Amino acid sequence: MKKTILSIGIIALSILVMVSCNDDNDDDNQTPKVSSCDFNSSSVSATATYDFGTNISKQFTQNSRWESNNADITLVNGKGQLTANSADVSQALEAWKLYKLQMPYNKSWEISIEVYIPAYWNSNGGNQAQVGAGIFVGKPVVSGQSSKVYECNFAVVNGGERFVQAQLVANRLGADPIDVQRTVLSKSKEAGILKIQFCSADKKLSLYIDNKKVGASRAINSSGLDNWNLSNSDVMDVGIMGFAENTIITSNQPTLDNFTYKIY
C-alpha cells in the first residue's frame, strides 16, 4: 500500500509541475516582458558637458515654445544664475532655456545639472515665497508654447521646507500637474545633482537627485498618465529652468552648473 500511495503522489507531483510550466508559458505569451534599459557608462554613444564657462547663448536659447516671464538665467562667474524681478510678485516668474540639442525617442538617454540654492536666498516676501531651479523634458510643438512637460526642480519655500520634485504636466498653459513625485530634503541642503533618465524600452521618464530616485517613473506613451503621441522618428526638447513665486530674486540667487547629456 505504501508503494502505491507513493507512486500516486509522484504522478500527481509530475502533473502539477507540468501544469505550472504550462501556466508560466501562457503568462509569458500573454504579457511579454519589456526589456530593461541599459544606462551603463560603457554603452554611451554620445555625451557632452557644458560647464557654464562661456557662451551660454550657444548652448541655451530662448524659444517661442518655452517663453520666460520676467525671469532669466544668465552667465555670471561661471554659473547659470537665476534672476527674477517683477512689480507683481504674486505672479509666477519663470525662466525656460532650450538646449541646443534635442533627445531621441527611440534611444535611452539622460540629462543632469548641478543646482545650488543658498540657505538665505530670500530678502523679500512672506511664508508663501518660493524659488526653484532644475531641468525639463518637453514635447516640441510647431506653433505656440509646448503644452506637455516633465518639469524637475530643486525648490525651497521661504521659512519652510526644501524639496525636489518631478511634475508631469499635460497642459502647462493653464492646468495643474497631473502627477507630482516629491521628496523632502534637509533644510541645510543647499546643493544637489538632478538627473532625468528616459528609458526607450518602456518610454518612461525618471528623476534622480544625487543618484537617488524620486518617486515613480512615468510613461509618456499610451500606457502612461499622459500620452505624448511620439513615434520613433520624433525628438524631445530638453533644457534648464527656474522660477520664483510671491517674491523676486535680485541677490543670493540660485545657480546652475555642469549640464550634461548622455545618449545610450
* Per-residue confidence in pLDDT tens, the chain, 264 aa: 443 443 434 434 343 333 333 333 333 444 444 457 889 888 999 999 999 999 999 999 998 888 899 999 999 999 999 999 988 877 889 999 999 999 999 999 999 999 999 988 765 667 889 999 999 999 998 766 677 999 999 999 987 899 999 999 998 877 789 999 999 999 999 999 999 999 999 999 999 999 999 999 999 999 999 999 999 999 999 999 999 999 989 888 999 999 999 999
> Could you report the per-residue pLDDT of 124-159, keeping only the tens digit for each?
667 889 999 999 999 998 766 677 999 999 999 987
Of 139, 197, 203, 207, residue with least CA distance to 173: 139
Contact call for residues 107 and 262 (beta carbons, < 8 A): no
pTM: 0.84
**Chain center to CA of 260:** 14
* Spatial separation of the C-alpha atoms in residues 152 and 196, rounded to whole Å: 8
* Spatial separation of the C-alpha atoms in residues 233 and 104, rounded to whole Å: 8
> Could you report the per-residue pLDDT of 105-131, keeping only the tens digit for each?
999 999 999 999 998 876 566 788 999
Contact call for residues 89 and 247 (beta carbons, < 8 A): yes
* Spatial separation of the C-alpha atoms in residues 251 and 62, rounded to whole Å: 23
- CA separation, residue 229 to residues 135, 151, 223 (Å): 22, 18, 11
pLDDT the model gives residue 127? 82
**Chain center to CA of 201:** 17
What are the backbone angles phi and psi of residue 237, rounded to the nearest 5°? -70, 145
Residue 111: CA count within 13 A, CB half-sphere: 25
Contact call for residues 152 and 208 (beta carbons, < 8 A): no
Contact call for residues 205 and 196 (beta carbons, < 8 A): yes
